[in-house]
Homo-oligomer: A and B are copies of this chain.
Amino acid sequence: MTTLSDVAKKASVSKMTVSRVINHPQQVTPELRKIVEKAMEQLNYHPNSIASALAHNRTNVVKLVILEDIDTTEPYYMNLLFGIAKGLSKKHYAIQLATDRDVGGGDGYIITGGRATDAEWLDQLDKPFVLFGENRYGYDFIDTDNKLGEQLATQYALNKNYQSIVFIGIDEKEPFEYSREAGYINTLQKHNMIPKIFRIQNHSSLAEKLIISNWRKFAPNTCFICASDRIAVGVVRAIQRKNGNIPRDFGVIGFDGVLLDQVSNPKLTTVKQNLFKLGELLAGMILQKIKQDGAQQGEVLIEPELIQSESTRN
């Protein structure tokens, strides 16, 4: 393994000059810099991030804290995780997972599944953190643009000439859900239509029951805007059990676009979150926040994409 000293020797400079070329290039004269860079290349030098971490009193580890129950974990976490891991690897950071609030050890946290009730806990954390998922307490976060997503979905349903547009939401008093509903409501109001919202927990079987027990309220030519693919899957099943025709008489649009939309039959038209990118951005944000000693990073919303498939008219 070649070290800073090796490079220094080869370039006939001190270790510090080499270190500076790596971390503060502008503090070194261009000529010296060139020489050092050549030496690094010839020796195929790669900085030892562990040594650097020690000198900085860092761990080079970011903790991913998942506050939701792991059993109900959506498959989309996998994509998120890959994005995060990718983003961290670039900077020689590694990931540790925590599934409870018992954190510690790590330079910062990426926290997902946080609910309003977690605010108190968040406030007493002593390391920088960023959230995956909207919040309205001023914590730094990244999320899909939930509102835009349902705007796209609702507008799409209108374009396909469904007369009645119903929203099946997730029964949680959380910003992501409010945003999704807002996107739906906004778009309907723009067309002078009155919103109809039902809410249930995020399970396909509950969605199925809901639709069946309210079936007479849904005339043909209705499109269901669902706050998740899970719900959409249940809605599809209910319509099929009632012998409704998808997509001719009934449209269904999901949200997430990870696996379930593909497994469903018919495949779901859905609002697809770009979770990989989201993960990468989360990684970038927490690393920057660590580097900047906890400075505020603000909020970032990622545009989702409407994937057109078999559960709506084309």
Query: Is B89 a contact of A96 with CB atoms below 8 Å?
Result: yes
Query: Is A263 a contact of B77 with CB atoms below 8 Å?
Result: no
A212 CB to nearest chain B CB (Å): 13
A114 CB to nearest chain B CB (Å): 18
A237-B259 in contact given A78-B75, A97-B89, A105-B92 (Cβ < 8 Å): no
Q: Could you say which residues of chain B place their CB within 8 Å of the CB of A233?
A: 263
A197 interface hit (Cβ, 8 Å): no
Which residue among A77, A78, A89, A233 has the maximum number of chain B CB atoms within 10 Å of its CB? A78
A265 CB to nearest chain B CB (Å): 5
Q: Which of A21-29, A31-39, A49-57, A182-190 contacts B (4 or more CB under 8 A)?
A: A49-57
A80 CB to nearest chain B CB (Å): 10
Q: Which of A58-66, A159-167, A242-250, A292-300 contacts B (4 or more CB under 8 A)?
A: A58-66
Q: Which 6 A-B pairs have the closest CB atoms?
A: A94-B94, A75-B75, A85-B97, A61-B94, A94-B96, A78-B78
Report A's interface with B, CB cutoff 8 A.
1, 46, 48-51, 53-54, 57-61, 70, 73, 75, 77-79, 81-82, 85-86, 88-89, 92, 94-99, 105, 204, 230, 233, 237, 259-260, 263, 265
15 A-B pairs whose Cβ atoms sit less than 8 Å apart in the complex: A50-B60, A51-B54, A61-B94, A75-B259, A77-B78, A78-B78, A78-B81, A82-B99, A86-B97, A89-B98, A94-B94, A94-B96, A95-B97, A259-B259, A260-B263
